[in-house]
């Protein structure tokens, strides 16, 4: 087919090369898929998309599918048909999906059909969306810094470079097998799982049931060697009554949110290996990785740049803290639809360069330490506080699992610092305040402190600030 890109050819060739090999195990459905199974499913879908009438060549196709063989096949099927896949959360609200499709100009939605294991293709009317960047082969959905859902358009060069950087930096080999606990539709798992499967033939085990005993059993039975996951699951697994070392597991990757050192060390005490922090963004894929994996890696350190990635700091202050800027062949073509330019604190994509909204500094060993977000500087009557600095102090208090510090209005002209802390029941507000007073300038000690069991997080594992504010009003 004329619209087939190099990436599509490479994925197709790889699936054929692994015709007889089991590439995907769906632990909950009890099914396995070989390269040939995935290839045939993708060809069938390619025909249906091409025949659906609504979506011409080059059109965007939303894939609203849970973690499954069908999702992987649908990605390849779109490529085979010369369409551009846009994976979305399978449980996305209908109105949010409509908005996203309208904004991006998607022409079809692939979703589960009534019949078990089947998918349905629904064509959408031609929308009046802006023209996408040329050369896009994938749209990744991102919440962005403003919370407004939009997509990031990636070229095949960017995707191939991104996954090559991950494979090389993390030392992934064909014998590895990932245990998947995170949504394949999100950038993190798309790169670490879907692309390592399609381009490197690395098998994946899908687990939708995350009950600790069940997940540990699946990991054991499937002999998973790599676990790309998120901090809250790392914490829950380490505290499970069934937790004991998994002999085949050699690499646990933590991304999406900061991993508290206490949670990392508790996991290490039980499983004998230390989760490695992986820092990345939808706009550029992986940025940095904790290559050391030793006990001395401090809170906030996200490791050294991935192979092929250069990290710079823009407008660094006297402490070396500046906006993190990423130079890499894995940087996306652009946002789609494009973001309104010029707003302070917004991320920015230009060819090969991604200006993040994160603030960081580099140490002598070349490791990146994140200290906050560009937007997250709280101004207390002219004195500036980076919440991350206060959060680090609070996270070091014994019994504290996680913390977030932010500014709340104390009057119409002034903000006060507020801390919401996820901690064991034994931790008191007084203990938190004392720890802050002992290590921070007086004005950096939060004025109000609230203790909760868990910080509210979105489906993407990001802090849910709206929920946080709502719970604050009640508390």
Partner 1 sequence: MTKPEIAHRAKEILVSGLRLEVTPDEIVDSEPIFGAGLGLDSIDALEFVVLVEEAFGVSIPDENVAKQAFASIDALADFVVEQRQHAAS
- Minimum Å gap between C-beta 423 and partner 1 is 8
336 C-beta neighbours (distance < 10 Å), count: 25
- Minimum Å gap between C-beta 421 and partner 1 is 10
| CA-to-CA dists, residue 190 to 154, 310, 352, 367, angstroms | 12, 22, 20, 25
Note whether 244 and 212 are within 8 A (CB): no
**Site mask for partner 1 (CB under 8 A), range 367-406, x = bound:** ----------------------------------------
> Is the peptide bond between 337 and the residue preceding it cis, with omega within 30 degrees of 0?
yes
Between residues 236 and 329, which has the closer beta carbon with respect to partner 1? 236
- Minimum Å gap between C-beta 446 and partner 1 is 17
Stretch that binds partner 1, among 44-52, 165-173, 230-238, 428-436 (CB under 8 A): 230-238
Pairing verdict, β 31-34 and 108-112: unpaired
The b-or-e profile of 365-383 (16+ CB within 10 A means b, else e) is eebbbbbbbbebebebeee
- Minimum Å gap between C-beta 372 and partner 1 is 24
Between residues 21 and 459, which has the closer beta carbon with respect to partner 1? 459
**Site mask for partner 1 (CB under 8 A), range 239-278, x = bound:** xxxx------------------------------------
Between residues 288 and 422, which has the closer beta carbon with respect to partner 1? 422
- Minimum Å gap between C-beta 300 and partner 1 is 23
> Which of 8, 153, 297, 451 lies at the binding interface for partner 1 (CB under 8 A)?
451
Residue 47 interacts with partner 1 (CB under 8 A): yes or no? no
Q: Where are the alpha helices (DSSP H) in 171-225?
A: 187-189, 196-200, 212-222
**Site mask for partner 1 (CB under 8 A), range 406-445, x = bound:** ----------------x--x--------------------
- Minimum Å gap between C-beta 405 and partner 1 is 18
Residues composing the chain: 475
* DSSP H or E segment with residue 38: helix 35-51
- Minimum Å gap between C-beta 214 and partner 1 is 4
> Which of 78, 100, 233, 404 lies at the binding interface for partner 1 (CB under 8 A)?
233
Cα distance between residue 169 and residue 289, in whole Å? 8
Between residues 209 and 434, which has the closer beta carbon with respect to partner 1? 209
> Which of 120, 454, 465, 466 lies at the binding interface for partner 1 (CB under 8 A)?
454
Residue 214 interacts with partner 1 (CB under 8 A): yes or no? yes
Measured at the alpha carbon of residue 280, what is the angle toward residues 278 and 286, in degrees to the nearest 5? 85
Note whether 44 and 51 are within 8 A (CB): no
- Minimum Å gap between C-beta 125 and partner 1 is 35
Q: Which residues contact 348 (CB under 8 A, 6 or more apart)?
A: 341, 354, 355
Residue 143 interacts with partner 1 (CB under 8 A): yes or no? no
Q: Where are the alpha helices (DSSP H) in 68-176?
A: 69-80, 94-104, 156-170
Residue 115 interacts with partner 1 (CB under 8 A): yes or no? no
Size of the site for partner 1 (CB under 8 A): 23
Q: What is the DSSP secondary-structure string of 213-258?
A: HHHHHHHHHHT--EEEE-HHHHHHHHH-TT----TT--EEEE-SS-
Residue 452 interacts with partner 1 (CB under 8 A): yes or no? yes
Measured at the alpha carbon of residue 225, what is the angle toward residues 223 and 228, in degrees to the nearest 5? 120
68 C-beta neighbours (distance < 10 Å), count: 22
Binding site for partner 1 (CB under 8 A): 209-214, 217, 232-233, 236, 239-242, 422, 425, 451-454, 457, 474-475
């Amino acid at each position: 087919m004329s619209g087939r890109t190099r990436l599509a050819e490479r994925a197709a060739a790889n699936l054929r090369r692994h015709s007889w090999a089991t590439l995907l195990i769906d632990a909950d459905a009890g099914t396995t898929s070989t390269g040939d199974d995935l290839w045939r499913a993708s060809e069938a879908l390619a025909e249906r998309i091409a025949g659906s009438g609504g979506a011409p060549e080059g059109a965007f196709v939303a894939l609203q599918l849970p973690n499954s063989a069908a999702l992987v096949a649908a990605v390849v099927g779109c490529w085979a048909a010369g369409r551009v896949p846009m994976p979305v959360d399978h449980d996305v609200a209908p109105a949010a999906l409509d908005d996203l499709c309208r904004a991006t100009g998607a022409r079809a939605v692939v979703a589960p059909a009534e019949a078990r294991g089947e998918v349905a293709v629904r064509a959408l009317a031609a929308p009046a969306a802006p023209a996408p960047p040329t050369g896009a082969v994938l749209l990744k959905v991102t919440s962005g810094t403003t919370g407004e859902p939009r997509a990031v358009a990636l070229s095949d060069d960017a995707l191939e470079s991104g996954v090559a950087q991950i494979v090389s930096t993390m030392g992934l080999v064909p014998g590895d097998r990932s245990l998947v606990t995170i949504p394949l539709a999100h950038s993190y798992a798309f790169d670490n799982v879907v692309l390592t499967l399609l381009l490197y033939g690395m098998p994946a085990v899908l687990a939708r049931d995350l009950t600790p005993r069940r997940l540990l059993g699946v990991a054991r039975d499937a002999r998973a060697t790599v676990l790309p996951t998120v901090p809250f699951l790392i914490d829950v697994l380490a505290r499970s009554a069934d937790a004991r070392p998994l002999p085949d597991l050699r690499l646990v990757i933590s991304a999406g949110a900061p991993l508290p050192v206490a949670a990392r060390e508790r996991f290490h005490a039980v499983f004998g290996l230390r989760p490695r922090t992986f820092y990345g963004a939808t706009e550029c894929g992986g940025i940095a990785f904790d290559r050391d994996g030793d006990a001395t890696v401090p809170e906030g350190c996200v490791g050294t740049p991935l192979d092929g990635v250069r990290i710079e700091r823009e407008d660094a202050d006297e402490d070396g803290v500046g906006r993190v800027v990423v130079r890499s062949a894995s940087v996306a073509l652009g946002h789609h639809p494009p973001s309104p330019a010029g707003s302070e604190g917004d991320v920015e994509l230009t060819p090969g360069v991604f200006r993040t909204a994160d603030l960081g500094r580099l140490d002598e060993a070349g490791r990146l330490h994140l200290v906050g977000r560009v937007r997250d500087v709280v101004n207390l009557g002219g004195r500036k506080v980076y919440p991350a600095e206060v959060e680090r102090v609070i996270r070091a208090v014994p019994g504290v699992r996680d913390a977030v510090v932010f500014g709340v209005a104390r009057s119409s002209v002034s903000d006060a610092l507020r801390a919401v802390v996820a901690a064991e029941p034994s931790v008191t507000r007084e203990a938190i305040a004392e720890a802050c007073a002992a290590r921070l300038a007086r004005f950096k000690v939060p004025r109000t402190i609230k203790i909760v069991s868990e910080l509210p997080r979105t489906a993407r594992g990001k802090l849910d600030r709206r929920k946080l504010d709502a719970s604050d009003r009640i508390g």
